[in-house]
Amino acid sequence: MHAGRVSHSSLLPDGMLPVAPSAVKMEGLVHTANGKEPYETPRALEAEEIPLVKEMFAKAAKEAVRAGFDGIELHGGNGYLLQEFLAKKTNCRTDEYGGNVENRARFVLEVVDACVEAIGADRVGIKLQQGVTFSDLIEPEDDSLEQLAYLGPELEKRNLAYVCLSSLNGDPYYKFARLEKPNFNVDVFQYFRKYYKGILMINGALSPEKANQYVEEGTADLVAFGVLFLANANLPELLATGQELNQGGWNTQVWYSKNPENDEKGYIDWPLVKAA
């Protein structure tokens, strides 16, 4: 992944400004060595710099495999660089990398291609978070569904290991973002499946029952759980045996704690439910 504008000059070599598709400032504060500081206005990437950034992704993929990993997942969400190119709010470019759905997806697909060339398609996955992020890109844009419809076939023909699609539509996930209702009025998983027939992983506030339903109906091939793992270290065994799960992981007040004396709360202090 590349953080793009979700960074700060004090965190980068030689105090350089963060880079992004366009000079659009991130809302909110960033953690630095001096505490929380406002995000800075990033520097827009020059066209001649883009091949260099793509090569950074490819090199990182090679190093991951050399270090012993089975493959890599490209992070296309959370407001980081790949999503910044996809979103109209952060991509105001007028060259071949901006202006419409196809152009805004170009950088993402070229990064995918660079990583595939570097380590093979069967070692490359990508995570998409259309309208799902903890930056200021939470609300879907008017062409977010059109973008999924374009990305689906493009990613399918590249025969990747998988695509992981994360949705904010589940309860209580969308409430974390202070939304009054889910941000899409359609089932994003089912919508994307119409355009992508490859291996699809889904994620986002899914109960075991709902996850099984999606797999059984063919919407998804597999499901990624995050929050449930916080309170259920042996989650696979619990799911396999139908045990009741601890739900405490949804307490966001203990996420990303900064107090070393309090860090175990909400992470390693849950009672371990034994599988039957």
What's the rounded Cα separation, in Å, for the pair 76 and 223? 17
Establish whether 214 is a catalytic residue.
no
Phi-psi region of 4 (alpha: psi -120 to 50; beta: other; left: phi over 0): left
DSSP 206-227: --HHHHHHHHHHTS-SEEE-SH
* Side chain identity at residue 146, one-letter code: E
Give the residue from 166, 174, 170, 216 showing the smallest Cα distance to 192. Answer: 166
Angle in degrees, 0-180, between the axes of helices 50-66 and 101-119, rounded to the nearest 10:
40
What's the rounded Cα separation, in Å, for the pair 52 and 155? 22
Tokens 């916080």 found at: 230
Q: Is 194 helix (H, G, I), strand (E, B) or coil?
A: coil
User: Which of 39, 80, 174, 196 is an active site residue?
Assistant: 80
Listed in sequence order, the residues at least 6 apart from 265 whose beta carbon sits closer than 8 Å to its beta carbon are 254, 257
Q: Are 90 and 39 in contact (CB under 8 A)?
A: no
Q: Which residues pair with 29 in a beta bridge?
A: 38
Taking the CB of residue 208, how many other CB atoms lie within 10 A of it? Answer: 17
Q: Where are the alpha helices (DSSP H) in the chain?
A: 50-66, 81-86, 101-119, 144-156, 173-176, 188-193, 208-217, 227-231, 235-241
Indicate which residues carry an active-site annotation: 80
